[in-house]
Amino acid sequence: MIVTVTANPSLDRTIELDSALDRGEVQRSAASSEQPGGKGVNVSRALIASGLDTIAVLPGDASDPMLVALRAEHTPTAGLPIAGRVRSNVTITEPDGTTTKINEPGPQLTADDDAALIDLVVSHARRAEWVVLAGSLPPGLSDDFYVRIIEAIRAAAADDTAAGACPRIAVDSSGSPMLALIESGVGVDLIKPNAEELAEMTGLPDSFEDDPDAAAAAALTLVHRGCRAVLATLGSRGALLVTADETWRATMPPVAAKSTVGAGDASLAGYLLADQRGAAPERRLAQAVAHGAAAASLPGSTMPSPEDTTPTAADVRLLSRPTAP
């Protein structure tokens, strides 16, 4: 079982244009779609497409359009009733793959919502192999929210001898919540930054898509700070998997990108899928880049199934050990 936690989910509306976006002018869309989204939700959707057991934990009343959409997709959920409504985000995609996103801040959560959401996560984490904490935080939750969830999960596992081992924890976030996690020193099993987020976490210039060696060196600094593995996605330049022992890089043949929305989430799902199948680190990375490439070739925030992916096409190489900057 893989539990995903999306504190600030969204109902994503994607508008596809048949020409480049012309700001200030009236344009007609070629197509549009609406899908439930948010990083953790997308991971669960991709895992469902791969036949894995998962449940998406998120705030939202059962009648919220977001929860209704997830039920329609047969995605198992554990929703926390709140006073507000789950936000809506708008994505505009252009024929060359350029993607523009407009994200709402999300509903205001209360201190009671904060505590109840952590309790809900802990209750499901007791039977999980992985817990994925993903995405931004809505108004009302403090920057250390993810730190407090991790501490609560580990405390519950220590107190409940019948629950078995503590689940492994993966985090995919950015901004202040991610910096708070790194600075806390709690340590997690996996983080999944993109190039921009890797620069943000390390305080280094964002040139990582053009310089994978520099990205590997930056990721190694996060390993030294308690992240056991760093899955760094570098857009069309592939991805890195950096641990205390090895550094791997994987690339995929170019794809015709329709939408990059959710490609990073699909990469994380691909990694977890391969991990659950007992794959070696380099094959987990291959499945991650294959999932990411497949997602980019699909419209909107559609998540790929394993049949959509070609991990054997990935070029996976063991890199020489970088020197952390």
Q: How far is Cα of residue 128 from the mean position of the Cα atoms in its chain? A: 17
Strands 247-251 and 239-243: antiparallel
- State the Cα angle at 229 between 174 and 181, rounded to 5°: 35
What is the number of other CB atoms lying within 10 angstroms of the CB of residue 72? 9
Residue 275 in tokens: 């991990």
Which residue type is seen at 94? E
Question: In the 8-state DSSP scheme, what is residue 170?
Answer: E
Under a CB-based contact definition with an 8 Å cutoff, are residues 235 and 195 in contact? yes
* H-helix or E-strand spanning residue 45: helix 39-49
265 flagged as catalytic: yes
* H-helix or E-strand spanning residue 100: strand 99-102
Maximum pairwise Cα distance, the chain: 62
Question: Could you give the strand order of the β-sheet that contains 99-102, starting from the edge strand earlier in sequence?
Answer: 31-37, 10-16, 87-93, 99-102
Residue 216 in tokens: 């590997």
Question: What φ, ψ does residue 3 adopt, rounded to 5°?
Answer: -100, 125
| Number of alpha carbons in the 13 Å side-chain half-sphere of residue 197 | 24
Which is catalytic among the residues 265, 275, 308, 315? 265
CA distance 88 to 195: 26
Residue numbers annotated as active site: 265
